[in-house]
Chains A and B, each alone.
Chain A
């Protein structure tokens, strides 16, 4: 059974441990701007929403990549950027309608969530279980999936 990240904004306290853990896991430094998961704050409602790639089936980033630098990890289903192949053209960053693949100017490559190879650091770091890594069928990511369908330019069959 494939697993995926389940995000429950109602449980998020905005502590940003996930951002720290992600940046440390991925880049070896504690720098939220390097994190693949970002917590957005809604000031007026004092609400926090952690947000990252859903590894959507449409895989807009992977489809648009001109050099085959984004591939599916067959174990986790994650769409993974292969930095040795990425030329930094950024076309994936505009093709992804969720804004979850971003360009790193300092490295000249793009970055996105790769599920840490099946053991996501953000979920481990989250003290309130706002982020969990669970069986794909159970995740509240359904809402995002539904949205992904609506966003889809039609690559899903109509029947």
Chain B
């Protein structure tokens, strides 16, 4: 059996490892588009803070790990998939045949249509190459503007702050992490960040960025907001919709991601936002599977196909797809949206339908002074979502309770009265 994996991120690497464990004889080729050993984007913030070096971001670290498992790792960009002839075309002009194909090409950052985004000093934070650039620019004292305080933006926020830059965060939503936290929790995180010296502007948009050399794009805006050379000679001027301007040495863009599916346009593979997959991670094309940020698979909360763009989903997809590719049918019960975030020491997490469901009930405890928060969402006597701030012990049982859909029985009322009893509820309803 000849397995070809497009994408050398966590989904692709877990798939390759699982394939080898399941099929000792198959040929496995793992292809990434970046000229790097397979690495983890999630580790980039810790590279930025200096906690690890580049090797620390590598998904597998032992020398010879891939070779020992006869996993052939190469770097080249796929440009087309031809399910009819079972081949993949690459940018270097080659065409590679497969028996079973996994598409795990991930996502890439969105670049909003704002003048000045192509200027030097304006950068996304998504690849190792991006990280090298940011480490060069984000030196202590540098003025940095971060566009977007979504989940990944907020992680990058912490890394930048730790680098000792003067940081301003601009988020167009009415709160931080609006797709992970409700207004109460998002507000708490914002207050915390401000108390730690990071300027956070919510409900604020960046209209344009100008280079102080005068080469700004977007003639209209450029003439509207002509900048004076800044004191201290910031390289960039960022114009906000509240009329204010910010001088910056570096602008980091974190405005969401989009799946890498363009190269599949002529493949006939059924796609929506991402590649549609069934519970065996199969696409609409025979012997073609998809996993990770590029795959739109079953969501255990909604029952619909969604993209979660998170590490746990990517690795679970990788494992399930590989089992199926290797001929061991495995049905995926679906992924759960969940995130854990550390903003300058304040730890927050959310799970599943944290925003609640129609006709559902919620239990909530707010301790504003101590930055603690816990909210549980129920549908009948099952937990369907949760939000926590300041909770680090046994936080995983929130996943356990939600994902298993265990009926809480009498524990529903006990949790309504005291949401902190989640661990007891879990033990009582599942094991004791």
Bound CA span A93–B394, Å? 7
Does A87 contact B392, Cβ atoms closer than 8 Å?
Answer: no
Does A102 contact B427, Cβ atoms closer than 8 Å?
Answer: no
Chain B residue with the shortest CB-CB distance to A61: B396
Chain B residues, CB < 8 A from A105: 345, 347, 392
Does A99 contact B395, Cβ atoms closer than 8 Å?
Answer: yes
Interface string of B275-308 (1 = CB under 8 A from A): 0000100000000000000000000100000000
Distance (whole angstroms) from the CB of A57 to the closest CB of chain B: 12
Bound CA span A89–B40, Å? 12
Instruction: Return the contact of B395 from the options A67, A93, A153 (Cβ within 8 A).
Output: A93
Bound CA span A144–B404, Å? 13
Does A40 contact B427, Cβ atoms closer than 8 Å?
Answer: yes
Chain A residues, CB < 8 A from B383: none
Chain A residue with the shortest CB-CB distance to B10: A66
Decide yes or no whether B20 CB sits under 8 A from chain A: no
Does A157 contact B329, Cβ atoms closer than 8 Å?
Answer: yes
Bound CA span A9–B340, Å? 32
Bound CA span A87–B342, Å? 12
Decide yes or no whether B323 CB sits under 8 A from chain A: yes
Bound CA span A12–B194, Å? 47
Stretch at the interface among B54-62, B90-98, B107-115, B136-144: B54-62
Q: How many residues does chain B have at the interface if contact means C-beta atoms less than 8 Å apart?
A: 60
Does A154 contact B396, Cβ atoms closer than 8 Å?
Answer: no
**With A98-B397, A155-B319: A66-B338 Cβ-Cβ less than 8 Å:** no
Distance (whole angstroms) from the CB of B298 to the closest CB of chain A: 9
Bound CA span A9–B331, Å? 34
Interface string of B376-418 (1 = CB under 8 A from A): 0000000000000000111111111001100000000000000
Instruction: Return the contact of B61 from the options A40, A68, A93 (Cβ within 8 A).
Output: A68
Does B43 contact A94, Cβ atoms closer than 8 Å?
Answer: no
Bound CA span A93–B311, Å? 13
Q: A-contacting residues of B (Cβ < 8 Å)? A: 10, 14, 40-43, 45-46, 51-52, 56-61, 279, 300, 311-312, 315-316, 319-320, 323, 328-335, 338-340, 342, 345, 347, 349, 351, 392-400, 403-404, 423-424, 426-428, 430-432
Not counting A93-B395, A95-B338, a sample of 6 additional A-B residue pairs whose C-beta atoms are within 8 angstroms of each other reads A47-B432, A67-B43, A68-B60, A89-B46, A102-B392, A157-B329
